[in-house]
Amino acid sequence: MTDNVLTHTTVLLNEAVDELIQASAGADGAYVDATFGRGGHSRLILSRLSARGRLLAFDKDLEAIAEAGHIEDARFSIRHEGFSHLAELPEGSVDGVLMDLGISSPQIDSPERGFSFRFDSPLDMRMDTTRGQSVAEWLATAEVEQITEVVRDYGEERFAFQIAKALVARRQERGPISSTSDLAQLVADTVKTREPGQNPATRTFQAFRIFINAELEELEQALEGCLRVLAPGGRLVVISFHSLEDRIVKQFMARHSKEVVDRRVPFAEPVKMRLKTHGRVRPSEGEVRGNPRSRSAIMRMAERTEVPA
């Protein structure tokens, strides 16, 4: 799928939609594309639905909302909200939820968004530019301990403390960092060793993006919301792109795919399993060759089991 200037290739497009439409309701079902992005998954889902099928999408990005406006289909609607709002849908009303957790190529490749160290641009990184703090605004007041925690926990960066100290020292000497190029240079000057082929700032940029958009917290809320809104036999399909996301998804599915016995109440009925997992899928060698950004993707699938009476 393309927009007017930048191209986005949807990862695991057919595989994800194939899994989603295997829900018990099939082509007649009500589905959610929880991360519309540039609409690759949504368009394919709509092509697979019958006249009775329905698709609701979510996205925080105003550019995604504008792209969704090009879809003229009465079966489709979109909300300008993050997917943590999934739980607001009626209980048991959804036959499948698809989450593609990757940042879209147009977001990365738009210099004004501040997601990439490849461009000199304002240090923003907000998915929804109408709400919340930018990274630059946060760094203007954040202390060493706060920055260290974010870079360490969300970027898995072993030089987190050194980067945080350098950022605060720079702020005290010359004012806060406000551009992507300045941040990338500061990290490069601070981090002296890095994996071959990886820019030294990669982990720091990832950490700040995840933090400023509360991505992991929103994912956890959205997954819990799925348990409420999925009908029995409904499908949950999640595509992750880094270990932090995938760990949350994997643990969530594992936790709800087994009966839980409360050992404190030995005679109580066990809590029934709520999901049946359906394994995981990685991109094919051909897809990775054609779209190198897909190489880290992992898709996990689960099915909502019968809700106990």
Q: What is the b/e burial string over 190-225, where b = at least 16 CB atoms within 10 angstroms of the residue's CB? A: bbeeeeeeebbbbbbbbbbbbbbbebbebbbbbbeb
CB 177 within 8 A of CB 167: yes
Q: Is the pLDDT of residue 1 over 70?
A: no
Q: Which band of pLDDT confidence, cut at 50, 70 and 90, is reported for residue 74?
A: very high
Question: What's the rounded mean pLDDT across residues 278-297?
Answer: 93
Question: What's the rounded mean pLDDT across residues 230-254?
Answer: 96
In the chain the domains, ranked by start, together with CATH numbers, are 13-106+215-304 (3.40.50.150), 129-212 (1.10.150.170)
Lowest mean pLDDT among 47-51, 182-186, 271-275: 271-275
Over residues 186-227, the pLDDT tens digits come to: 999 999 777 777 889 999 999 999 999 999 999 999 999 999
Question: What's the rounded mean pLDDT across residues 126-131?
Answer: 88
Q: Is the pLDDT of residue 22 over 70?
A: yes
The confidence score (pLDDT) of residue 102 equals 83
Rounded to whole angstroms, the Cα distance separating 220 from 233 reads 21
Of the chain, the percentage scoring pLDDT greater than 70 comes to 88
Q: How many CA atoms lie within 13 A of 162 on its CB side?
A: 13
Question: What's the rounded mean pLDDT across residues 146-155?
Answer: 97
The confidence score (pLDDT) of residue 104 equals 67
The confidence score (pLDDT) of residue 2 equals 34
Helix axes 202-212, 144-155, angle to 10 degrees: 100
Over residues 75-106, the pLDDT tens digits come to: 999 999 999 999 999 999 999 999 999 876 56
The residue count of the chain comes to: 309
Rounded to whole angstroms, the Cα distance separating 35 from 98 reads 8
- Look over the chain and give the mean of its residue pLDDT values, rounded to a whole number: 89
Lowest mean pLDDT among 117-121, 219-223, 267-271: 267-271
Q: Is the pLDDT of residue 24 over 80?
A: yes
pTM: 0.88
Over residues 274-284, the pLDDT tens digits come to: 999 999 999 99
Q: At 248, phi and psi to the nearest 5?
A: -65, -45
CB neighbour list of residue 15: distance below 8 Å, 6 or more residues apart: 281, 299
Question: What's the rounded mean pLDDT across residues 261-282?
Answer: 75
Query: Taking the CB of residue 299, how many other CB atoms lie within 10 A of it?
Result: 24
